Amino acid sequence: KASLIFSIFRKYNTRVKCVLGTQYANGWVTKQVVRYATSVPDCIGVGFYFGNKGVVVSSLDEGIALCAQDLLNMGKRLILHKMMAGDIPIIAYEAGQHVLIRDNKQLTTDINRSQKMEELYDKMFEVWKENSNELMCLYESMSLPSKYGAWGIQEHEDDVENPKYKAVQRWIGQQ
């Protein structure tokens, strides 16, 4: 079905990019997506998230350390995806932190508001630039922390001191 949809969009609109999604945690999936695609996509889309990956942490420092370790692994996974994709560029259809401490909304919020989160976002952008430097869409621009996570780059429109927001603004300024 993807090749049919690709052909329709390519026939009428050259600005539309045809993207095949894959599972970021498993490079083998990317290999299979590329291998069995009946039409070559313009790019492969991944969710480029770093975080605690469901590991329960009990302190801000422990949460930040897990995020930092995950960022190191993300670079390795991105290299693997690029190898599996061949000449097809890798884009991030969503990117950012994925910190969720179940039953501890306050710790999730504290980790996201930490100044160290700004450094983690800087590192995320660095890893992306070194290993792909294609389109990256960040998730999500603005939202309040909840029991489901603290996804927003900002919590409200005046939240210009948010560590994630400051890192994003620097990244935009470098492009």
56 C-beta neighbours (distance < 10 Å), count: 12
Q: pLDDT value at position 38? A: 67
Q: pLDDT value at position 40? A: 78
Distance between CA atoms of residues 29 and 32, nearest Å = 5
Q: pLDDT value at position 23? A: 87
Q: Which of 95, 70, 71, 90 is nearest to 80 (CA)?
A: 90
Where b means 16+ CB within 10 Å and e means fewer, 122-145 reads bbbbebbeebbeeebebbeeebeb
Q: In whole angstroms, how far apart are CA 107 and each of 80, 87, 111?
A: 33, 42, 6
Mean pLDDT in consecutive groups of 10 residues from the start of the chain, 175 residues: 78 82 88 82 92 88 95 92 93 94 92 97 96 93 93 96 97 88
Sign of the CA dihedral with 76 first, then 81, 87, and 88 last? negative
Q: pLDDT value at position 24? A: 87
Distance between CA atoms of residues 14 and 69, nearest Å = 40
Q: Which of 157, 165, 172, 163 is nearest to 64 (CA)?
A: 163
Give me the count of residues in the chain: 175
Q: pLDDT value at position 91? A: 96
